[in-house]
Amino acid sequence: MTHNQAKERIAALRLEVRHHDHLYYSKDRPEISDAEYDRLFRELVELETAYPDLLTSDSPTQRVGAPPIDELAKVPHEKPMLSLDSITDREDVQAFDTRMKRELETDHIVYTVEPKFDGLSVELVYDQGKFVRGSTRGDGRTGEEVTVNLRTIRALPLQLRHDSSPPAHLVVRGEVYMRLDEFQSLNRRMTERGEEAFANPRNAAAGSLRMLDSRVTASRPLTVTCYDIMAVSGPAPPSHWDELEALAGWSLPVPAHRRRCRSIEEVLAFHQSTDAMRESLPFEIDGIVVKVDRRDWQDQLGSKSRSPRWAIAYKFAPRKEITDIQDIVVSVGRTGTLTPLALLKPVEVGGVTISRATLHNADEVARKDVRVGDRVKVERAGDVIPAITERVPVPGEQRQDPFVMPDHCPVCGSAVAREGAYFYCTGQTVCVAQLKGAIEHFASKSALNIDGLGKKTVAQLVDRGLVRDLADLYRLTKEQLLTLEGFAERSATLLLASIERSKSVTLDRLLMGLGIRQVGQHIARVLAQRFGTLPQLMAATEAEFIQVHEIGPEISASLASFFREDRNRQVIARLVERGLSIAPPAQATSSSHALAGKTFVFTGGLSGYSRDEAKQLVEQHGGTVSSSVSKKTSYVVAGTDPGSKLDQAQKLGVTVLSEGEFTDLVKPA
């Protein structure tokens, strides 16, 4: 292929990929299969790799994010980004209509109505059809620049359609949000990794967009819709309806569900029918937005300081109902966390029958003081998992005893331990609820590295009772594997060979694979280096663990409680019995551990990372994170509103870092 041919092919492929992105992400109406799309996309990537001089930033392949930055830059908006007045009552909508008619001195007003998306507002700037800048709303005048992050959103065109003659300059307002199904699977992934789940799709969208590391944003399932032209070169469309049509014509995503209403009665009907379909929409909306359609009338009506006079948010009634708690049970998650769940007398909340609601954790139960038999309010406002918001006292009621967390796991009977507000089952390898997760972790690359033991296989092995603990893996026979779905002679032989290979393992990998809380790759190495052999490690006491450099009280407690548990000791004994041979640890490669030996303590809020992310970063570089400041602490990272740990650090003369300085330390050189 000549350079010129490559250039032409690349241009054609980009048009095609953009076209299909638009159909898929904005119109929800794909015309080709995923496989066909992948072929086009791959061909484009290959050509751009072969001809790097032809790679441009507006290529649909350039959505992967960029290295992290210190902080989000502030950018002034071209025009203030206003908010909306909101109402919930029918009478208020009628009053709005009356006001508009009086101001405009007419009886005939056309309104355009569309859903009010529950996400976060962004400003998008296109120059010569190219996406050049995007920012969050901020305080309305100045926002945070999130251009690189926005570029990772596939529904957002990096280049407006050439053939639609886009304006030279265009400023669009839209809403970034997350679909409900995507939100749920993101939360599942987060909790499986031991990270804290997002409370609702809006928080998930906001948290994901305002990342300092756009590569993380790229991994989050965000989408966007556009509903306002804030500025445009050349003539502006004469009505809001035409605005939306123009945006769609330029290939920007716009609300599909919208209507032009010729009377306020039609608006009321749209509100009602939209509320009814709310449950079946794949994303959260919290009302409708009613806008005077004609642009000249919008200009005539003008704005108040914070909101336009020509539009109003007509919200849905909060989805809250009152019911009784029949029982409080405890569910055990994949990582062993115990979550109290209220079993409710079934009640319909916003069209869905609710019979259980999460109580999050023991502190929440205590704070709300809810007990079995109590009357409570249940809400589904924005949250996918219904939550109990408050207790409704009933005069003269006889209340039962306060709820207490069980001290033994309801699934496996192992002891329950506590970490802050969270309680968890110490059973780990013997708790069925955790067994699947534990086996997957045990088999993972950085642990025992067993190839061919994927999620599906693990689930089958556990569900059929073929594997009841980690040691059972080493008893599997070919006949047993052949009974599993998706297994044939060859795959069974390969898996058995891989299991056999995993029998010679280094101590650090085994420790990592056992999935002891707080013991990741780095700590496993530290422990293996210090103790050398498994029997020596198992004989150590909590006090001895604390003596080890980098091992704090939390890790020590976690280790001690793990090895104290009889069943964990038995599993380990069986692993050895079945031929696991444990070699001394591989030599630590300290050169790649920029922060080896350094202990960090965090205080206050960080804007660019969650606490878990910050901790992971430290550990990735070989450091450790502790919860309390001592003379051994290397750095205290102070975010916004730091607590007493900052005073402690200053008293002890420990180096204090800002978030920016911390980022410098953990940023890859």
- What positions carry a catalytic annotation? 116
Nearer to ligand IVH, 254 or 349 (CB): 254
Window 550 to 589, contacts with ligand IVH (CB under 6 A): none
Angle at 404 between CA 371 and CA 189, to 5 degrees: 95
Considering only CA atoms, which of 263, 87, 233, 82 is closest in space to residue 170? 233
Give me the phi and psi of 247, to 5 degrees please. -60, -45
**Considering beta carbons, is residue 227 or 562 the nearer one to ligand IVH?**
227
Signed CA dihedral, 638, 643, 645, 651: sign only: positive
Contact range with ligand IVH by CB under 6 A, out of 306-314, 448-456, 528-536, 644-652: 306-314
Pick 21 or 118: Cβ nearer ligand IVH: 118
Cα torsion 51, 56, 57, 58: sign: negative
Count of residues near ligand IVH by CB under 6 A: 15
User: Looking at 55-63, 77-85, 574-582, 650-658, which segment touches ligand IVH (CB under 6 A)?
Assistant: 77-85
Exactly one of 68, 157, 253, 308 binds ligand IVH (CB under 6 A); that residue is: 308
659 binds ligand IVH (CB under 6 A): no
Asked if residues 430 and 571 have their Cβ atoms less than 8 Å apart, the reply is: yes
Minimum Å distance from CB 69 to ligand IVH? 25
Site string for ligand IVH, 224-243 (x = CB under 6 A): ---xx---------------
Q: Which helix (H) or strand (E) holds 362?
A: helix 362-368
Residue type, 298: Q
Spatial contact of 333 and 428, defined as CB atoms under 8 Å apart: no
Closer Cβ to ligand IVH, 11 or 277, answer by number: 277
For residue 197, count CB atoms less than 10 angstroms from its CB and return exposed for 0-12, middle for 13-18, buried for 19 or more: middle
Site string for ligand IVH, 320-349 (x = CB under 6 A): ------------------------------
Query: What tokens appear for 105 in the block?
Result: 């001195």
Inter-residue contact 425 to 323 (CB < 8 Å) = no
Q: Which is nearer to ligand IVH, 243 or 469 (CB)?
A: 243
Q: How far is the CB of 349 from ligand IVH (least distance, A)?
A: 23
The residue whose Cβ lies closest to ligand IVH is 121
Distance CA 99, CA 129 (A): 39
- Confirm if 379 and 349 have CB atoms less than 8 A apart: yes
Q: Output the smallest distance, CB 483 to ligand IVH, in A.
A: 53
As measured in angstroms, the least distance from the Cβ of 352 to ligand IVH is: 23
Task: Say which residue the tokens 């950018």 belong to.
Answer: 75
Note the Cα 547 to chain centre separation in Å.
Answer: 37
205, 289, 370, 388: which one binds ligand IVH (CB under 6 A):
289
Quote the Cα angle for 33-37-42, to 5°.
145
Q: How far is the CB of 154 from ligand IVH (least distance, A)?
A: 20
Provide the Cα torsion 203, 206, 208, 212; round to 10°.
Answer: -130
Nearer to ligand IVH, 247 or 580 (CB): 247
The backbone torsions φ and ψ at residue 309, rounded to the nearest 5 degrees and listed phi first, read: -80, -20
Whole-number Å distance between alpha carbons of 635 and 654: 6
Contacting range for ligand IVH; rule: CB under 6 A; set: 197-205, 307-315, 549-557, 654-662 = 307-315
Residue 284 binds ligand IVH (CB under 6 A) = no
- Span 173-192, contacts to ligand IVH by CB under 6 A: 175
Please identify which residue in 13, 72, 84, 625 interacts with ligand IVH, judged by CB under 6 A: 84
Q: Which is nearer to ligand IVH, 124 or 551 (CB)?
A: 124
Q: Are strands 375-379 and 320-332 parallel, antiparallel or unpaired?
A: antiparallel
| AA letter at 650 | Q
Q: What x-and-dash track marks residues 106-145 binding ligand IVH by CB under 6 A?
A: --------x-xx---x------------------------
Residue 313 binds ligand IVH, judged by CB under 6 A? yes
Min dist CB 461 to ligand IVH, Å, is 47
User: What ranges make up the beta strands (E) of 202-251?
Assistant: 222-232
> For residues 94 and 100, what is the distance between their CA atoms, to the nearest angstrom?
10
C-beta of 307 vs 331, nearer to ligand IVH: 307
By CB under 6 A, name the binding residues for ligand IVH. 82-84, 86, 114, 116-117, 121, 175, 227-228, 289, 308, 311, 313
